[in-house]
Structure 1
Amino acid sequence: MGEQTNTSADDRITPKVTGIGGIFFFAENPQEVKKWYEENLGFALNPWGGASFESRDLENPKEINTLEWTPFEKGSEYFAPSKKEFMINYRVQNIEGMVEELKAKGVTILDDIASYDYGKFVHILDKEGNKIELWEPVYSEPSSSDEKE
């Protein structure tokens, strides 16, 4: 009989990256780039200007993960203070614990954790000055009818 792996409550509170939540990059003409991706690669653009790709969590198949893809106007201040032409958003769990660990390690934290209906966000810089967005999505807890008896 094979072993069943379940994510324990302790595993869910360990501060760590759990996946990529978004890929953002500069474009000379974001509208033209979006149109090109839509027409040539079949991207379904969403109302907020990008595309969303959904997948299931292997440990919790009822949970849907989203990866956001969005081109930004070249020169946008959203990536500042980074001078790079891209920014990656990483999905994390226990964002508060992660920020505390990063502060203790001397990592540059650019802002306070911001909370929205769809999750919590904070921005940091990596060793080479790349701005990174950390996102802890709002996860729905399984209902009692979802759990095995």
Structure 2
Amino acid sequence: MKKTSFLILTITVSFLSGFAFKSALTKPDEAKVKKVTGIGGIFFKCKDPKKMTAWYQKHLGLNTNPYGATFEWYEDTDSTKKAQTQWTPFSEKTKYFEPSTKDFMINYRVENLARLVDGLKKEGVTLVDTIETYDYGKFIHILDAEGNKVQLWEPKD
């Protein structure tokens, strides 16, 4: 019984020491930086975006708009922090997804886009363009490990 208790105590102390050591080595800013906080949008190519939007509205009940459909939700448990995810069909001939050859692009919601981009540059991630600012947020496009174009969005919620 004493050996089992000692073993459990040793494992617990080792785990907590490792956690404390990691915490001490992690820079405060680094620990607080959230990268992706959610899906900001799903974009895909199709032959007829208007027809596709109408089909989803009719058959699946999407509340569509000129850009596709917007799904509103609340971040975390804070019922005052509204967020949204965009669903948008694009023309199959769009060049917006280039240089990727894929028929889709995912938009990820992020916090502090400028700081994230600085980190991505240091990690050698390919930036397709530069940060652009609009009245609804900041955007940049990057390429993932397989050359898929990814959109990063820091929303102004």
What is the aligned counterpart of 1:36 among 55, 67, 86?
55
Aligned pair 1:108/2:142, yes or no?
no
Gaps of 5+ in 2: 1-28
Instruction: Name the CA distance, whole Å, in 1 between partners of 2:97 and 2:77.
Output: 32
Residue 105 of structure 2 corresponds to which residue in structure 1?
Answer: 87
SS of residue in 2 equivalent to 1:79: coil
Aligned pair 1:49/2:64, yes or no?
no
Residue 117 of structure 1 corresponds to which residue in structure 2?
Answer: 135
Aligned pair 1:25/2:51, yes or no?
no
Aligned pair 1:14/2:64, yes or no?
no
When normalised by structure 2's length, the TM-score is 0.78
Instruction: Name the CA distance, whole Å, in 1 between partners of 2:56 and 2:34.
Output: 35
When normalised by structure 1's length, the TM-score is 0.82
Provide Cα deviations, 1:59-117, integer angstroms capped at 9, x if missing partner.
43211110000000002010000000000000000100100000000000011100011
Alignment of 1:54-65 (within 5 A): 54-65=72-83
Gaps of 5+ in 1: 1-9, 140-149
Q: CA deviation at 1:29?
A: 1.0
* Count of aligned pairs between the two proteins: 129
Q: Which amino acid in structure 1 is aligned with residue 112 of structure 2?
A: N
What percentage of residue pairs aligned between the two structures are identical?
50
The structure with the larger Rg is 2
Q: Using CA pairs under 8 Å that are at least 6 residues apart, name the structure with larger relative contact order, 1 or 2.
A: 1
Q: CA RMSD in A?
A: 1.7
